[in-house]
Structure 1
Amino acid sequence: MPLPLLKKVLPAQTRLSLRKFFWLSRSWLYLGTNVYCPLCERSFRTFLPFGKERRSQALCPRCHTLERHRLLWLYLQEQVHLQERSLAVLHMAPEPIVQQRLHALPNLLYRSADLTSPVAMDRVDLQALPYATASFDLILCSHVLAHVPDETKALQELRRVLKPQGQLLLQARLHPQEKTLETPEAVTPLQRQQVYGQSDRFRKYGQDFGERVAAQGFTVQAVAYANSRPAEEQTRLGLGLQELIFVATHPAHEVA
């Protein structure tokens, strides 16, 4: 049966289960000791290339996480200490393996949310979150904001549901230009594909991403966490050397 027809016939959860089975089956071909994925906790001879630019050493053969996922997981373990603290966590647009690891921690009150994802626990619009004010100690929002029509509303909602002493961890694909590219005239999927490179994007973030987050009432710190490790460990773990973690907090809360 052709792949497009399978997508129409099979439920999303079934397709995801089949995809996971394929990944697990294929991962045995890459067993080795050269690289290590901290999310699925397996070693391989190589990570796989991924992306339109075909980034080498990007994709885990087993759990299909990328550089940014592995980097975030290490930060959560080593800096947030999420395995040792009782935290209410909101995970926007959850990556399956990250959700699996977080949901399994008994000390976390965990919710995942997305508008369309079949693995998310809650079906929500980031521009109008259904949660009470000051509900979460920790919010994860990785590569999501570029896909939200109204960035301002989304950030204001994230700030509303974040506790005063909480942290919002953001990641985004940043392009070399200084200013974020937004073209209001690009209203159709085809136009957005032409302008931003993806039909579901509403902007192409530049180096001003942190400033845009700060403009909505946050204190923002950009953390180049991969640089905290020796070069050989960066390679072994397949970390995104250009990937930043933006730690956003309420202004009165100092980031450690």
Structure 2
Amino acid sequence: MVRFALPMYLLKALLPAQTRLRLRSYSWWARGWFYQGKEVFCPLCEGHFQKFLPFGVERRPQALCPKCHTLERHRLLWLYLQEQVQVETQQLSVLHMAPEPVLQEKLKRLPNLQYRSADLSSPLAMDKVDIQRLPYADASFDLILCSHVLAHVPDEKLALQELSRVLKPKGRLLLQARIFLDLPQTLEEADVATPQQRLKAHGQADRFRKYGLDFSERVSAQGFAVSPVDYAQTRTSQEQQHLGLGQQEIIFVATPSAHVPA
């Protein structure tokens, strides 16, 4: 019997992004059913499983939810949004940059939020925008979510200035980024200009810099007061394992400098 399989690039060309995501979600759901158990709990899809799955180039253990495909940073951010922002009850205008599909769907369903998602290329985002030139009016949002985005933006300073402009004076910008703990200073080289060079220097073809321990200072330089929050530490080690919160997943809470929270 001869079997035919369409190459991935043809599937991408033939199927709309929403259809591809729906098909993937069906396969994730089936995988989640296979891994049902009581050892771990995902606060995003509210599923109980035998374990979280390895993920990433370095194959981080206990990283990937087998059902909703979310990672440590997504689970941690959702807990912070629930517990510290009260995102399920507060009346908030929210901008979600480069939205993660599962988190976007949860936030879109909350009737108390005025929610917009935005990205330059993702077909899942509500608005197609460049973070370096946001189309929104000044002081539009109470809350901005920006997870693992800034390293992939050519002009980080311009992006942060734009995020500051559209954030309300007492608003919050929640940033997440991969921090390379062996780098005291962010690695950003002017002569690394092509995708091939960026892949070799930074590990990804679309990554313009590798953030070091100075990440907070770089954000602060653009008019923010920054508080790094190791929110996983609000849980016991057993709870961290149960929720799959990972290690060194910091949430950087940035507020306009003129309105530093007490």
Q: Which runs of 5+ in 1 are unaligned?
A: none
In the TM superposition, what is the alpha-carbon distance from 1:8 to its structure 2 partner?
2.8
Residue 24 (1) aligns with residue 33 (2): no
2:194 is aligned, of 175, 180, 188, to: 188
Asked if structure 1 preserves the Cα contact closer than 8 Å seen for 2:37 and 2:48, the reply is yes
Could you say what the CA RMSD is over the residues aligned between the two structures, in angstroms? 0.9
* Whole-angstrom distance in 2 between the partners of 1:8 and 1:84: 40
Residue 53 (1) aligns with residue 58 (2): yes
State the match for 1:198 in structure 2: 204
* Whole-angstrom distance in 2 between the partners of 1:138 and 1:161: 10
In the TM superposition, what is the alpha-carbon distance from 1:145 to its structure 2 partner?
0.2
User: What is the count of residue pairs matched by the alignment?
Assistant: 256
Asked if structure 2 preserves the Cα contact closer than 8 Å seen for 1:192 and 1:201, the reply is yes
State the match for 2:173 in structure 1: 168
In the TM superposition, what is the alpha-carbon distance from 1:234 to its structure 2 partner?
0.3
The residue type paired with residue 43 of structure 1 is: H
State the match for 1:212 in structure 2: 218
State the match for 2:118 in structure 1: 113
Residue 3 (1) aligns with residue 3 (2): no
SS of the counterpart of 2:257? coil
Asked if structure 1 preserves the Cα contact closer than 8 Å seen for 2:68 and 2:102, the reply is yes
The residue type paired with residue 217 of structure 1 is: G
In the TM superposition, what is the alpha-carbon distance from 1:128 to its structure 2 partner?
0.2
* Whole-angstrom distance in 1 between the partners of 2:260 and 2:219: 16
State the match for 1:78 in structure 2: 83
SS of the counterpart of 2:10? helix
In the TM superposition, what is the alpha-carbon distance from 1:73 to its structure 2 partner?
0.3
The TM-score with structure 2 as length reference comes to: 0.96
State the match for 1:38 in structure 2: 43
The TM-score with structure 1 as length reference comes to: 0.98
Q: Which runs of 5+ in 2 are unaligned?
A: 1-5
* Whole-angstrom distance in 2 between the partners of 1:6 and 1:121: 23
* Whole-angstrom distance in 2 between the partners of 1:249 and 1:240: 25
1:130-177 C-alpha deviation (Å, 9 max, x unpaired): 000000000000000000000000000000000001000000000021
SS of the counterpart of 1:252? helix
SS of the counterpart of 1:187? coil
* Whole-angstrom distance in 1 between the partners of 2:128 and 2:164: 19
* Whole-angstrom distance in 1 between the partners of 2:154 and 2:206: 9
Identical-residue share of aligned pairs (%): 66
In the TM superposition, what is the alpha-carbon distance from 1:199 to its structure 2 partner?
0.3
In the TM superposition, what is the alpha-carbon distance from 1:17 to its structure 2 partner?
1.4
In the TM superposition, what is the alpha-carbon distance from 1:119 to its structure 2 partner?
1.0
1:179-213 C-alpha deviation (Å, 9 max, x unpaired): 00011111111111011000011001001101000
In the TM superposition, what is the alpha-carbon distance from 1:12 to its structure 2 partner?
2.0
